[in-house]
Structure 1
Amino acid sequence: MYVKHRLRRLPDTPEKIARGIFAGVFTSFTPLYGLHFVVAGLIATVMRGNILASLLATFFGNPLTYVPIGVISLKTGYLLMGLDRPPAEHGNLVTKFVRAGESVLQNLKAYFTDDVANWRDLDVFYHDVFFPYLIGGILPGIICGTIAYYLSVPLLRAYQKRRRGLLKAKLASLKKKKTADGKPRAD
C-alpha cells in the first residue's frame, strides 16, 4: 500500500516515472537476487527514468511472483539456447540449487582449512540454471516492463492531474478564507 502511495507522489513526469517502473519490473526477471535495487537503479539511470520508481517497481518480484517468473525465464532460456529442458545428468533443479549452496559453503571452509575447493557444482548450476535464467529473463522482462510502462503512464498522468486540481482547489479555498476575514486563519 505504501509503495503504491509513494509511487503516485513522485515529483517527475509520468513518462520518467514509467521508465523507472519499466526498469524495476524488467529487473525482477533477472536471477541477480540481492542486486535488484542496484541493477534497477542503473537501468533507470541509463533510460533517464526515475530511480526511486525503479526501486519500488522491483517489488513486482515478490514471494508470490518469483516462482512463475523463474519458470517462465528458465523455460524461455532453455528455448533460446536450444535445450528442450535442463540437462538431467546432474539432478533436478532443486538438487542443483542445494548442491550449489553446499559447494559455496564447502569452498569457503576450504579457504580457511586444508580442504580442496571444488567448483564443479557451481559450474553445473551456472550452466544449467543461472545462465539460462539470465538469458531467458530478457524477453519476458521486456514484455512485462513494456506493459507496465504503457499501463502506468495514463494512470500517473490522470492521478497527477487530479492531484493538481485538488491542490488548486485547496489553495483557492484558503485564499477565500483569508480574504473573507481580512487576516490569515489558523486552522
Structure 2
Amino acid sequence: MLFRRRKPVTISERLRAFLWPRKGLSRGPRYIALRILRLSSTPHAIAVGVAAGAASSFTPFFGLHIIIAVGIAFLFSGNLVAAAITTALANPVTIPMILTASYELGIAILGVESAHAASSADVMRMVEHFDFSALWGPVFKPMLIGSLPLSAAGAVISYLAAYQAARLFQKRRQARVKDPGSST
C-alpha cells in the first residue's frame, strides 16, 4: 500500500491516542472558538448566536438543541451558524453534569422534599417500562424548571464573553489588514 505505516499501531498506542490525543485535548475547543470568531458577522450577531446555543445546551431536550438554538438565534437576529456550533457544549462529557445540576436546582426551586424525589433506581425502572407520564412529576418537571435559570445564566455569560472576543478579534483583523507589514 502506498500510505501504509511501516510499523503498525499497537493497541496500547491506539488507547493512549484515544484518551489523550497527540495534539492535546484543547485543540478541538480552540478550533471551534476560532471557527466562530472568523464568521463574517457583527460581534453582536455572533454573541447572540453563541448565547442561543449555550442556552439551548442547558435544556433537557436532547436531540432538539440545534433546532432550539437556531430558532432562538433567528428570533433575536443572531448568527445561525454560531448558534448551531455552540450547541456542542452539551456533549457526552457535560450532559450528566448539566442534567444533575438542572435536576437539583429544580428540586430546590420547587421545594420538593427528599422523600418525594425519585431515586435513580426508580427512574431507571420507569424508563425501562416506558412510563413517561410517571416520570413527569418527579423527574422532568424539576429538570425543566431547573434548566431555565441555568440557561439564562449560560446565555448571559456566553453573550458577554463572545461579544468581547468577537469585537477584539475583528479589531485585530482590521488592524492587520490596514498594516500588513507588522507582525503580531
TM-score (norm 1): 0.73
Say yes or no: does 1:153 pair with 2:153: no
8 A Cα contact 1:20 1:53, kept in partner = yes
Which of 120, 126, 129 is the aligned partner of 1:103? 129
For 2:171, give the aligned amino acid: K
Which of 151, 157, 166 is the aligned partner of 1:141? 151
Shift of 1:9: 0.8
Shift of 1:10: 0.8
For 1:129, give the aligned amino acid: V
Q: Aligned-pair RMSD on alpha carbons?
A: 2.1
Q: Residue in 2 aligned with 1:109? A: none
- Once residues 125 and 176 of structure 2 are traced to their aligned partners in structure 1, the CA distance between those partners, rounded to angstroms, is 55
Q: Could you say which structure has the higher helix fraction?
A: 1
Say yes or no: does 1:47 pair with 2:114: no
Runs of 4 or more above 6 Å deviation: none
- Once residues 68 and 85 of structure 1 are traced to their aligned partners in structure 2, the CA distance between those partners, rounded to angstroms, is 20
Q: Residue in 1 aligned with 2:174? A: 164
Q: Residue in 2 aligned with 1:129? A: 139
Q: Runs of 5+ in structure 2 lacking a partner?
A: 1-27
8 A Cα contact 1:19 1:49, kept in partner = yes
- Once residues 109 and 169 of structure 2 are traced to their aligned partners in structure 1, the CA distance between those partners, rounded to angstroms, is 40
- Once residues 85 and 141 of structure 1 are traced to their aligned partners in structure 2, the CA distance between those partners, rounded to angstroms, is 25
Identical-pair percentage: 33
- Once residues 8 and 157 of structure 1 are traced to their aligned partners in structure 2, the CA distance between those partners, rounded to angstroms, is 9
* Higher Cα radius of gyration: 1
Q: Runs of 5+ in structure 1 lacking a partner?
A: 105-120, 174-187
- Once residues 101 and 35 of structure 2 are traced to their aligned partners in structure 1, the CA distance between those partners, rounded to angstroms, is 29
- Once residues 133 and 37 of structure 2 are traced to their aligned partners in structure 1, the CA distance between those partners, rounded to angstroms, is 43
- Once residues 115 and 74 of structure 2 are traced to their aligned partners in structure 1, the CA distance between those partners, rounded to angstroms, is 35
Shift of 1:144: 1.7
Shift of 1:153: 1.0
- Once residues 125 and 167 of structure 2 are traced to their aligned partners in structure 1, the CA distance between those partners, rounded to angstroms, is 46
- Once residues 170 and 125 of structure 2 are traced to their aligned partners in structure 1, the CA distance between those partners, rounded to angstroms, is 48
For 1:146, give the aligned amino acid: V
- Once residues 65 and 4 of structure 1 are traced to their aligned partners in structure 2, the CA distance between those partners, rounded to angstroms, is 17
Matches within 5 A, 1:1-187: 1=28, 2-85=31-114, 87-88=116-117, 92-97=119-124, 99-100=126-127, 102-104=128-130, 121-170=131-180
- Once residues 121 and 85 of structure 2 are traced to their aligned partners in structure 1, the CA distance between those partners, rounded to angstroms, is 29
TM-score (norm 2): 0.75
For 2:155, give the aligned amino acid: G
Shift of 1:95: 3.9
- Once residues 85 and 75 of structure 1 are traced to their aligned partners in structure 2, the CA distance between those partners, rounded to angstroms, is 11
- Once residues 113 and 52 of structure 2 are traced to their aligned partners in structure 1, the CA distance between those partners, rounded to angstroms, is 30
